[in-house]
Amino acid sequence: MTEHEHPSEPSQVAASAPPAPPAGTPPGTPARKPHGKQLLILLLGGGVLAFGGCALFLGTLNFNSGDTSVLNVVFAICFVVGAGMFAIGCVLALVLIVTTLFRTESR
């Protein structure tokens, strides 16, 4: 390595520009709160997915033999995902109701 190829020299070190800010919302914009439409989708969609996944899982389950098929696993996963969506929807609905009550009382 020669004297001119040394990476610690200022002429050889590339200056990096600071990263550009994302092109989305401007800084300082408050986060969006969950709205009724989103909650309705979580509650109804989660309930339907959980009910359907449970019904299909039980319908394809073979009680006489211990066999499990791929469909049983898929339907069980659908049930778990649907139940989780429904639970998240319930929690967000409760938070929305409580914040609405406190907001109207403070005015």
Task: Give the mean model confidence (pLDDT) for residues 9-22.
Answer: 60
User: What pLDDT, in 10s, does the model give residues 35-76?
Assistant: 778 888 889 999 999 999 999 988 888 777 777 788 888 999
Q: How far is CA 3 from the centre of its chain?
A: 54
User: Global pTM?
Assistant: 0.61
Helix (H) or strand (E) holding 76: helix 70-106
Question: CA 50, CA 86: separation in Å to the nearest integer?
Answer: 8
Q: Domain boundaries in the chain?
A: 34-107
What residue has token string 């990263």?
19
Q: Is the pLDDT of residue 7 over 70?
A: no
